[in-house]
Structure 1
Amino acid sequence: MTGAGISTESGIPDYRGPGGVWRRDPDHEKLVTIDYYLADPDIRRRSWEYRRASPARDAEPNAAHRALVELERAGRLDRLITQNVDGLHLKAGSDPERVLELHGNMFGVLCLGCGARSSLEEALARIDAGEQDPACLACGGILKTTTVMFGENLSQDVIAEAAEAAERAEVFVAVGTSLQVMPAASLAALAERNGARLIIVNAEPTPYDELAAEVIRDPIGEAVPRLVARLMA
C-alpha cells in the first residue's frame, strides 16, 4: 500500500510531512472537502486551479514506482493498494487489474448530477475558454474530478477487494503513508492480524510502527528498490 510519500521524489508534495501541503496552507483542505466544494463556487474555481497547477500532471514515476513494477513482473505482488490520485503507478507500468486506487484518480471528471464522465484536460480547456466553474454539458450539474474528497465514501467494491488482499497477504508493505486516514490505514493492522509480515517504509513515525516486523526510515527512492530486491531473492 502506498501513500503520498512514494511520489515526493517525483516532485509531488505530500500532505502531512514536514513540508506537506497542509502545513504550508491549512486552508487547502477546503479544496478537497466535498461539503465546501458543493456549497461554494469560489472553492470549485480554486479547486480546478489547484488541479491545473498540480505537479502530478507532468510528473514521472520514480525508482520506487518502477521497483514495484519489477516486483509484480516477478510474480511477487498480488495487489498494489494506493491512496494516491496521481496515476504514477499506472504510468510506471503496473497492471491496472492489480492497482486499487482507494481515493480515485485526478485525471477523470464526473458529473455529480447525471454521472457523465469526461477528462480533466477537457474541463481545463473549458476554463481556458472563460468558464471559471464549468458545469456538466449534459445536465448542468456540478463537475468534479474522479477523486474521493474528504466527506465522500470510498468505493465499497475497491475497499472490499483491498481488505481481501490484506487478509491473504504473506507480506504487507506500507510505503510513504502516515497510516492516519481510515479505512485505508486499518488495512495494515488487518494484514498483520491475519499473519502477514508488516513492513513500514516511511520517514515519520506511524501509529502502526509497533505492529511492524520492520520499520525503514531511509529515503523511499532508495529503500523500496532495496526492499524489492530482498523480496524477490
Structure 2
Amino acid sequence: MRISVPTIPHALSAPSTATKPIDTREAIDRIARFLAPGNVTLVTGAGVSVDSGIRAYRGSNGRYLNPNYKPIFYHELMDRTDKGAAYRLRSYLGYKSVRDSQPNTTHFALAALQYKSIIPRLITQNVDGLHHKSMQQIWNKAQMENGILELHGSLHKVHCTHGHVVDRNVFQDWLSSANPRWKAFADALEASGQGPRTNPDGDVVLEGVSYDDFVVPDCPVCLQEGRKNNVQKPELIFFGESIQSRVKDLSYQHIDTCDRLFLVGTTLATFSAFRYTHREAGSGVHYLLISVESDRLLKHALELQKPVLMLNIGPTRADGLPGMEKIEIASGIVMRDVVRQVLGFESISDTVVNEMLRSGVVQPPREDD
C-alpha cells in the first residue's frame, strides 16, 4: 500500500490576495442575509477554535505554523513503531490544554443559531469538543448527536484495537500511573506556564527527548478476556485511516437536506471535506486539486447548486471556485452581531440566546516565533 504525505500547496503557503477587503458592517450584513432564510448546514474548521487558545495549523498571515510537519499515519500508530510511541507521549502531554479549553464567542454565536434552528446541522472538522461545550446547558445527549457531526472524531474518547472504549480522562490517569516521571514532567510544565505548543489534534511540539521509557498500559477489558493489548488510540481519524461510512453518509445527507452551506474557519486542507476535479473539454487534461477517499462536501454542495458562503482569513483550497462566495474577516469580530441581526428582538427577549451572546472566552494563543 502506498500512502503519500500531504504537502502544502503554494496557494495555501502564501498570503491571501484573492479576496478584496471588506469592512465589518458590510460583512455582518452579508453573512446575516445569507443565514436569515435558515436551513443552513455549517462546516467548521480549526480557525473557529483559535480564540479558545487552540492553535490552527496556519498562522494569522496565512502560513502554516510548521511547513515541515509530517503527520503520523494510522499504520505507524497501530504497528507499535517508535513513531507511535512518540505520538502517544506527545498526545498525553497535549491533551490537558485541549480538554481545559473553553468555547469562545464564535462557538456561542453559532450555538445560538443552532438553538434557534437557523443552523439545524453542524459538521465540524475539529476534535476539541468545544461545539458540544457551548450547547451542553441547552441540549441533551440525543440532541447533540443529531445536531453536531464530528467528521474527524473526538479527542475525548480512546479505544483499543478490540473496540473497548474508555473516557479520555480515565485513560490519562492510566498513563500518569504508569509513567510517574512523565507525570512529574507534565506537572512541572503546567506550573511553569511554559507548556509545549499544542496542535488542534492534541499533538504537541516536543523535541530532544527520548520516548523509550513511556509505557502504555494494557486495556483492562482485554486483560479480563485473557489477552494483552496496549494498542489504544484516540477516536480520531488519522492519515491513512478511513472515515466511518455512517459519518460519511450522514455528512452527505446534511448537504442534501440543507438550502445553503456556510463554512467557517477552514482552509479545507484537512483532506476530508473537499474534492474538486475539472477536465478541459476535448483536451484530455484532467486537474485534480485534492484526491481524497472521504467526503467531498463542498463539491457536492456546488454540484447541487446550493449557495455557499465561506468565512475564513487567508487562502483556502476552494478560492476562486464558481458558485462560492468568500468573506475574509475573523469570525470572532462579526458572528455575535450577525446573530443579533438575524434574530432581531429575539436576541434580547430569548434569555437563552441573550446569555449565549454574552458568553465565550477570547484567549488566542501567543504569537508564533
TM-score by length of 1: 0.88
| 1:123 to 2:166 alignment | no
| 1:175 to 2:261 alignment | no
1:35 & 1:187 partners in 2: Cα distance? 26
Given the alignment, which residue of 292, 305, 320 partners 1:195? 305
CA deviations on 1:95-120 (whole Å, 9 max, x unpaired) are: 412100011000101011x2111121
2:62 & 2:325 partners in 1: Cα distance? 25
Which residue pairs with 2:326 in the alignment? 215
Given the alignment, which residue of 230, 236, 248 partners 1:159? 248
Q: CA deviation at 1:21?
A: 11
8 A Cα contact 1:168 1:194, kept in partner? no
Which residue pairs with 2:104 in the alignment? 62
Q: Which has the larger radius of gyration?
A: 2
The more displaced of 206-215 and 78-87 is 206-215
- For the residue of structure 1 that corresponds to 2:248, the secondary structure is helix
Which residue pairs with 2:193 in the alignment? none
| 1:99 to 2:148 alignment | yes
Q: Unaligned 5+ residue runs, structure 1?
A: none
2:81 & 2:100 partners in 1: Cα distance? 27
What amino acid does structure 2 have at the position aligned with 1:127?
Answer: L
8 A Cα contact 1:22 1:29, kept in partner? no
Alignment CA distance shift 1:85-1:98 (3 Å): same
Which residue pairs with 2:122 in the alignment? 80
What amino acid does structure 2 have at the position aligned with 1:110?
Answer: H
1:213 & 1:102 partners in 2: Cα distance? 22
- For the residue of structure 1 that corresponds to 2:170, the secondary structure is helix
8 A Cα contact 1:110 1:143, kept in partner? yes
Structure 1 vs Structure 2 CA RMSD: 2.4
CA deviations on 1:205-225 (whole Å, 9 max, x unpaired) are: 222232354312111212333
The more displaced of 97-106 and 196-205 is 196-205
| 1:38 to 2:148 alignment | no
8 A Cα contact 2:178 2:217, kept in partner? no
| 1:48 to 2:88 alignment | yes
Q: Unaligned 5+ residue runs, structure 2?
A: 1-42, 180-214, 223-227, 275-295, 345-369
Q: CA deviation at 1:44?
A: 3.4
1:166 & 1:176 partners in 2: Cα distance? 18
Q: CA deviation at 1:86?
A: 0.3
Count of aligned positions: 230
- For the residue of structure 1 that corresponds to 2:240, the secondary structure is coil
Q: CA deviation at 1:164?
A: 1.2
1:21 & 1:13 partners in 2: Cα distance? 13
The more displaced of 166-175 and 37-46 is 37-46
**Which has more helix, going by share of residues?**
1
Alignment CA distance shift 1:70-1:18 (3 Å): closer
Alignment CA distance shift 1:155-1:107 (3 Å): same
The more displaced of 4-13 and 163-172 is 163-172
Given the alignment, which residue of 99, 104, 108 partners 2:157? 108
8 A Cα contact 2:61 2:314, kept in partner? no
1:215 & 1:19 partners in 2: Cα distance? 17
1:212 & 1:225 partners in 2: Cα distance? 26
Alignment CA distance shift 1:82-1:42 (3 Å): same
Which residue pairs with 2:239 in the alignment? 150
Q: CA deviation at 1:231?
A: 4.7
Question: Which protein, 1 or 2, shows the higher relative CO under an 8 Å CA cutoff with sep ≥ 6?
Answer: 2
What amino acid does structure 2 have at the position aligned with 1:175?
Answer: V
Alignment CA distance shift 1:180-1:162 (3 Å): same
8 A Cα contact 1:201 1:223, kept in partner? no
What amino acid does structure 1 have at the position aligned with 2:71?
Answer: E
1:126 & 1:99 partners in 2: Cα distance? 29
2:235 & 2:175 partners in 1: Cα distance? 18
| 1:133 to 2:222 alignment | no
- For the residue of structure 2 that corresponds to 1:24, the secondary structure is coil
CA deviations on 1:167-200 (whole Å, 9 max, x unpaired) are: 2222211111111233412212211222321111
1:177 & 1:74 partners in 2: Cα distance? 24
| 1:90 to 2:126 alignment | no
